[in-house]
A and B are shown apart, each in its own frame.
Chain A
């Protein structure tokens, strides 16, 4: 059992938890993830490590309520525990050796972009952090992000905070204005990461995206997390989750992300499920 030491509601859909897992906290690096299972009948889901405290022995996860497992998890409180918590999995991000980096986060993706920006900042790299949200009330981690970059640019789709528009527009403006980045990191929905990668391609700026496909074990055993990268099949769990955005086949990744849509619905509609009716989307 892995105890929930702290729970913080970041907005009405996104929740932060610190989980006691000292051995994982000791080894965790930005870019890596954990797999958890809330209870015995539960599904194994991957969540990126949003932060870690090696002294306190805690690992921070930030998740959006998008399905049955995240809904169940959101109902756990401080002092409760999750049944299984395995990690740190995947390869750590390569963040050394850069001068100026643009970190682009979309929605929940900001929770994953944050530790990367933090590490870059610690390494003395100049960081522009472009964070996009649908609307003002969905903004998360604003203060934390501000602390780990040189420029924080917040955009909202509806203009309710920061500038109105998409992260790609903000990145594009800077590129047009002649800002030189030697790396762009894009983390968020597949459509957003594809758009950022397309934007940086003509500028030949190396662009790293973080893939988050369905997976079971997270150790290379199931192969469910296959991603086509430069014409080769890679496993996001062991080869990634970071990949070259210019080589990822986003079209197939987007199609693969739809495979269990029907089943996700069925999971909620099960008469035995006490979360029934929680999702009408």
Chain B
């Protein structure tokens, strides 16, 4: 008998007041009993609308049935058939816009908690089993993947499964891309990321760190001199956007990238035990309304900032951040100043930030994105005191690789042009993820990595 409760089984989480001051994970995940109870809410629809909502087509009803039967190992392996990073996706996917939105239970009541169940299966497996080294027949062909973020990891995993000898080239000293430098520990523990990546290495994927492709080696050298049959570019959207307003170079103004990288990748929250510092003042203003802005604001709280405010130029309804992240931020004490935009940043004679002059905004006619365009309200300038300002107004693709690769077509925004198979304007060069779309989600990048892996396999197989 299915569980006909209209609500999801609640997932335990740290109390907001306590978690606002530590980097421990916000939510604790289901116990086996909770998972089985929730799994029984799935109606196992024959037409599987949820799977159509998933960019990597996880076999959702199948894995949920296995959880309901108590076969957690089987559930994990079922997810893993199409998803390289289940523990990551179970935590950071916007399920509410994807699989869970399509769920039939959503029509009357809440959808099945697909994300929570995915996370449960992955965590349970990681705690209780070790992945067997799969016996894969190698096909003797080499593929280079540039960037060890979600797109690259997913592409590498799929190619390794098909027998390819895959090397991932990563510019930083640590694999994971945005999973390592961007998303904070309290939302995605780095041990989880590490284990997911180890599982890939277990499949034979090689990861070469500290390799800034475009500088140390070019794409052409990889193809012509290093024996790679194809190259996949998954270099993400790592170039921080600034606003171009006065005072942005004052001490205390960070790009969200720098702020989060110091904290997540370089572990500034352990300073001075780790050597990289970050300066978080008493009053922090974060500019932007996406997940990155939420992450930055919540990190600032955990550094004991007394007042953390998010300034966003539209209204809360237009905020691109996940609802869950906005709610978590609010519970923890982040103040939301919507319809507000900075005009200039003010500083003292020593070059340190003292405040931000902001202006009120009103929503006008819809713009190209379909959202109503924010316009300044004349005479509404006011000063918000702050000693740290984090600019989280978006990232664009890093031009380094494009500049050093001849004949690679790019858009005006700097994104690499690809078709639905991830094929670029260069033969044997593929791309996917944020490098082709601009900043988007982990799971879309993974879907693109998968599509490109399929196309690479088709192309290299046909060359025989």
The chain A residues found within 8 Å of chain B, CB to CB, are 23-24, 27, 37, 41-44, 68-69, 83-89, 216-224, 226, 228, 233, 238, 252, 255-256, 258-260, 263-264, 266-267, 269-270, 272-273
Output the least CB separation between A23 and chain B (Å): 5
Contact segment of B267-275, B326-334, B369-377? B267-275
Complex: chain B residue closest to A69, CB-CB: B275
Please tell me if the beta carbons of B258 and A224 are within 8 angstroms of each other in the complex.
yes
Query: Please, how many angstroms separate the alpha-carbon atoms of A273 and B257 in the complex?
Result: 28
Contact assessment for B350 and A258 in the assembled complex, using a CB-CB cutoff below 8 Å:
yes
Instruction: Report the minimal beta-carbon distance from A72 to chain B, rounded to whole angstroms.
Output: 8
Q: In the complex, which of the residues A24, A86, A88 has the most CB atoms of chain B within 10 Å of its own CB atom?
A: A86
User: Which among A23, A86, A222 is the interface contact of B258 at CB below 8 angstroms?
Assistant: A222
Q: Is the CB of B215 within 8 A of A89?
A: yes
Q: Are B251 and A259 in contact (CB under 8 A)?
A: yes
Residue of B nearest to A265 (CB): B272
CB atoms of A24 and B277 under 8 A apart: no
Given contacts A84-B209, A221-B398, A222-B262, 11 further A-B contacts (CB under 8 A): A41-B275, A86-B210, A217-B171, A219-B212, A219-B400, A220-B399, A221-B181, A221-B238, A223-B258, A233-B242, A266-B271
Q: Are A266 and B277 in touch, CB under 8 angstroms?
A: yes
Contact B271 A87 (CB under 8 A): no
Given known contacts A68-B275, A87-B212, A263-B279, A43 and B251 CB-to-CB distance under 8 angstroms: no
- What are 22 A-to-B residue pairs whose CB atoms are below 8 Å? A37-B173, A41-B273, A41-B274, A83-B173, A85-B210, A87-B212, A87-B215, A216-B276, A217-B171, A219-B171, A222-B257, A223-B242, A223-B258, A224-B254, A226-B248, A228-B249, A233-B242, A255-B250, A258-B351, A263-B277, A267-B275, A267-B277
Residue B255 CB within 8 A of the other chain: yes
Q: Roughly how many angstroms separate A84 CA and B216 CA in the complex, as a whole number?
A: 14
Residues of A within 8 A of B244 (CB): 233
Contact with A along B265-291 (1 / 0, CB 8 A): 111001111111101000000000000
Cβ of B259 to closest chain A Cβ, rounded Å: 9
Proximity bits, B339-374, A CB within 8 Å = 1, else 0 = 000000000001100000000000000000000000
Among A37, A42, A85, A217: residue with most chain B CB under 10 A? A217
Q: Is the CB of B261 within 8 A of A222?
A: yes
Q: In the bound complex, what is the Cα–Cα distance between A41 and B172 (angstroms)?
A: 15
- A249 (CB) vs chain B CBs: closest residue: B249
- B250 neighbours in A (Cβ, 8 Å): 255
Asked if A238 meets B266 with Cβ closer than 8 Å, knowing A259-B251, A267-B277, the reply is no
A265 to chain B, nearest CB (A): 10
Which among B215, B216, B267 has the highest number of chain A CB atoms within 10 Å? B215
Are B271 and A263 in touch, CB under 8 angstroms? yes
Q: Which of B186-245 contact A (CB under 8 A)?
A: 209-212, 215-217, 238-240, 242, 244
Min CB distance B176 to A, Å, is: 14
* Chain B residues within CB distance 8 Å of chain A: 171-173, 181, 209-212, 215-217, 238-240, 242, 244, 248-252, 254-255, 257-258, 261-262, 265-267, 270-277, 279, 350-351, 398-400
What CA separation (Å) do A23 and B266 show in the bound complex?
A: 25
Residue of A nearest to B270 (CB): A41
Give complex CA distance A184, B421 in Å.
Answer: 51
CA distance A273 to B274 in the complex (A): 10
B273–A272 CB distance below 8 A:
yes
Q: How far apart are the CA atoms of A174 and B43 in the complex, in Å?
A: 87
User: Given A221-B239, A252-B351, are A86 and B257 also a contact pair (CB < 8 Å)?
Assistant: no
Known A-B contacts A219-B171, A220-B238, A220-B398; the reply to A44 vs B215 at CB < 8 A is no
| A110 smallest CB distance to B (angstroms) | 25
Kindly identify which residue among A216, A220, A270 contacts B261, using a CB–CB cutoff of 8 Å: A216
Q: CA–CA, A31 to B135, complex, Å?
A: 48
Contact B350 A23 (CB under 8 A): no
Tell me the complex Cα distance, A228–B249, Å.
8
Residues of A within 8 A of B171 (CB): 86, 217, 219
Quick check: B257 and A223 within 8 Å, CB to CB?
A: yes
- Residues in B with CB closer than 8 Å to A84 are 173, 209-210
Contact present for B277 and A260 (CB under 8 Å) = yes
Distance between Cα atoms of A266 and B209 in the complex (Å): 30
Q: How far is the CB of A241 from chain B (nearest CB, A)?
A: 14
Q: Considering the chains assembled together, what is the distance between the CA atoms of A256 and B351 in angstroms?
A: 7
Contacts of B251 in A (CB 8 A): 255-256, 258-259
Chain B residues, Cβ within 8 Å of A256: 249, 251, 351
A58 CA to B234 CA, complexed, in Å: 30
B173 touches A86 (CB 8 A): yes
> How near does chain A come to B389, taking the closest CB pair, in angstroms?
13
Q: A222-B257, A258-B351 are in contact. Are A216 and B272 (CB under 8 A)?
A: no
